[in-house]
Amino acid sequence: MNFDILIRGGEIVDPGAGQHGRLDVGIAGGKIAAVAKNLPTEGHRRVVDASGQIVTPGLIDLHTHIYWGVTYWGVEADPIAARTGVTTWLDVGSSGAYSFPGFRRWIAEPARSRVYALLNASYVGLVGPTFEFSNLDYMDVPLAARTIEENRDLILGIKARIDRNTTRGTGIAGLERSRELADRVGLPVMVHIGAAPPGLEEIIGLMRPGDILTHCNTGNDNKVIDAERQVLPYVKQLWDRGMIMDIGHGTGSFSFDTAEAMLSHGLPPDVISSDIHQMSIQGPMFDLPNTMAKFLAIGMSLSDTIERATSRPARAMAKPELGTLKVGAEADVAVFTLREGNFTFHDVRMEPRRGKVQLDNTLTIVRGEVLERSEERPLHHWAGIPTHQHGQPPRP
């Protein structure tokens, strides 16, 4: 069989399909056509020598902000995808009902990488940095429901940021309306946590199995561990019932202390995501592979780390055709070198941890086509990072 692309000689790491080892990958017609040892090398349109590298399903970033030019937060998807191995983006709440048509027309449809969205329960979305739930008049449930019904191919759920700044005195009412919306359209809600109020127990009380708790490794006052570094019982109870725990690193939402406490009890996150935006891309998050390397540094295995950025987010999005290299799957593929050395990684409070491995992307393939690298737009003039993060070192 002749392939559009043959990737040969790489080490396959595909936890979702249980495929590991020195295998070649043949791609044809935008699908994975073959995964086997020593596939013939002649007659193909392109042959990629991946010797000494790892080959994974394309990364799926479950928490991103890619509504460039319309929101405070947005970065451009394709230039970053091409250098990071992210082939699927879930934009979470950048667009509300009134701005979603622009997201569809100007972001999702032109993108070469895959783009999906969670609709912000507030119709103003994230045009500004926060406060979208501070006026409950912005939370028009019928308007949001109609927007979802007309765009179910792209909208996979609801986003609700529930913290002190976003709610600004409206308390838990924004999440109550988000719950009403999610139940009305039969989709999950992703809930952002951080600084109280509202308190975490009140937030968890409105979540259901299949919902996503993002920023689950936060070190802020709504963190999911108690003073004894145990996961709070009411969090653990819903987690056991199917709530999804997502990292959402960002600029202010990832604590090594919380992550290590959870890992020490055998409770790794379900999903590793970046919360990439105009600020976090400056560090210490930088990109999804760098976020994954932090989990390697604190003891998670390579296979488990890859799984939490491929097949697990695919399941959370109800997109089982993604996040795997099994024959017949969508041909979204990433190739990485495992760069060995002595690296220092930082959390959002600039607490350091030492690591021995970094993930460097060398090739990104989406729908069976190589995503060529391109120049990224300059950051917006308002994209400043917190003072305590100034002067940080570049990506390890």
Tens digits of per-residue pLDDT, 194-245?
A: 999 999 999 999 999 999 999 999 999 999 999 999 999 999 999 999 999 9
Same domain, 240 and 110: yes
Residues 125 and 255 in one domain: yes
Domain-embedded: residue 324 = no
Instruction: Tally Cβ neighbours within 10 Å of residue 197.
Output: 16
CATH number at residue 48: 2.30.40.10
- Does residue 344 belong to any structural domain of this protein? no
389 assigned to some structural domain? no
Point out the domain boundary residue: 285, 316, 347: 316
Assess whether 242 and 363 both reside in one domain: no
Token code pair at residue 152: 């179910």
What pLDDT shows up at residue 147?
98
**11, 25 Cβ separation under 8 angstroms:** no
Assess whether pLDDT exceeds 90 at residue 261: yes
Name the domain count of the chain: 2
346-363 pLDDT per residue, tens: 999 999 999 999 999 999
Q: pTM of this prediction? A: 0.98
360 lies in the same domain as 216: no
Whether 39 and 109 map to the same domain: the answer is no
Whole-number average pLDDT of the chain: 97
Amino acid occupying residue 271: V
Both 117 and 181 in a single domain? yes
Same domain, 135 and 186: yes
What is the CATH classification number for the domain harbouring 280? 3.20.20.140
pLDDT digits (tens, 9 = 90+) for 91-128: 999 999 999 999 999 999 999 999 999 999 999 999 99
Assign 91 to helix, strand or coil: strand
Asked if the structure places residue 377 within a domain, the reply is no
- Assign residue 219 a region (left: φ > 0; alpha: ψ between -120 and 50; beta: otherwise): alpha
Residues 297-308 have pLDDT tens digits of: 999 999 999 999
Q: Does 240 lie in the same domain as 161?
A: yes
Whether 122 and 26 map to the same domain: the answer is no
Distances in whole angstroms, Cα of residue 139 to Cα of each of 125, 144, 213, 299: 10, 8, 20, 42
CB atoms within 10 A of CB 69: 11
Residue 1 has pLDDT above 90, yes or no: no
Distance of CA 242 to the CA centre of its chain: 18
Tokens read off for 53: 């590298």
| One domain for residues 169 and 260 | yes
Give the domain range for residue 18.
5-56+329-339+355-370
Give domain status of residue 95, yes or no: yes
Considering the domain architecture, whether residues 292 and 230 belong to the same structural domain is answered as yes
Same domain, 43 and 65: no
